[in-house]
Amino acid sequence: MSLSMPSSSAAAAAAAAAASTSGSSSSSATASSSSTTTSWFSGIVRGRGDKSGNAKLSKSASMAGGGSGDYGGPIKGKNQFRGVLFKYGPKPIQVAFKTGEYKQQVIFIGGLTDGLLATDYLEPLAIALDKEKWSLVQLLMSSSYSGFGTSSLKQDAQEIDQLISYLINKENSEGVVLLGHSTGCQDIVYYMGTNAACSRAVRAAILQAPVSDREYKATLPETPTMIDLAANMIKEGRAEELMPREADPCAPISAYRYHSLCAYMGDDDMFSSDLSDDQLKTRLGHMANTPCQVIFSMGDEYVPDYVDKKALVNRLSKAMGGAEKVEIEHGNHSLSNRVHEAVQAIIGFVKREGPSGWDDPWS
């Protein structure tokens, strides 16, 4: 969903990441017991060419990071992560931040306007994952922060693939779990439908707040006029030209991306309650091939009141071949008021589904 954030958020997030990175120890934590000198997947890819509810950290956990390794843990202090900042692709924006030095990674993919440190549950999640010998990776893409308006799901998928390829070839990754928040859920669904070589390293997927941008935008008075304008611009061959500023006050947005987010059956329209079961299955059915969890906030402020949330999450789960459902009562969009429940759901799923299939990715 389109969430407003102060203009200084990007700089603050980058500064926090840089500060934490510069203070991190060069000695990494011991990798998981299944680690080897080379990843089972790296040879394959190379061969193919390639807040009230917050789980509050105790003072000792904040100081030590709560980690299982000897490097001090993934959290140095409030909003301070300890880890490695690295480039995974050729574009300046293509950097990612990784906590821990483990062979299994959970990749967090944020929503519109998101970047590093996007949700409150990432801190306790990093600690919980570290105890299970998993790294947390937060990536920046061309669509991060205000870049979403001139990007696309296709471009996001290409950059996600580049990150996974980096983890496989440079970090000897033994597989990843994708964790999407909001529009990041669309990214995961789109990426897993590409059948890219590196997508076979995705052991499981978690969709947190998979809600309809279109249904939310439909509650705004200017949306119908702007959809018509975007459609006309696309017909005239001006899909990549920018819409008027009132189309989206958060960022410059192209006619294509506005139409994708706001129009019926646009490329981003995957979770709308008015889509038929067949339409949902067409868009989500391929997720049945991957262990999947849907975490739905029953108090999500970006879901219109007329939507039956319980019925919707049941239909989404069914369309994905029976994905695991987690309904968090009174939870808001980012689960900032239900952090503990969010971390419990995510870490439980990762522990159950993450290790499955490590030895034979082609099964």
CA distances, 132 to each of 32, 66, 84, 326, 347 (Å): 9, 11, 19, 21, 9
Q: Using an 8 Å Cβ cutoff, are 193 and 299 in contact?
A: no
C-alpha distances in angstroms, 103 versus 32, 44, 168, 257, 363? 6, 17, 9, 36, 20
pLDDT at 66: 56
Taking the domains of the chain in order of start, what are their residue ranges? 75-212+274-353, 214-269
pLDDT number for residue 356: 66
Res 197: pLDDT: 87
Top CATH class of 75-212+274-353 equals alpha beta
Task: Determine the pLDDT at residue 362.
Answer: 40
Higher pLDDT, 61 or 126: 126
What pLDDT was estimated at residue 79?
87
Q: What is the rounded distance in angstroms from the CA atom of residue 176 to the CA atom of residue 167?
A: 9
Calpha distance 107→263 (Å, rounded) = 29
255-285 confidence digits (pLDDT tens):
999 999 999 999 999 999 999 999 999 999 9
* Bridge partners for 294 per DSSP: 207, 325
User: What's the whole-model pTM score?
Assistant: 0.81
Q: What is the pLDDT of residue 72?
A: 83
pLDDT over threshold 70, residue 15? no
Rounded Cα gap, residues 311 and 10, in angstroms: 37
Do 342 and 179 touch, CB atoms closer than 8 A? no
Q: Which residue has the higher pLDDT, 252 or 24?
A: 252
Q: How far apart are CA 129 and CA 120, in angstroms?
A: 15
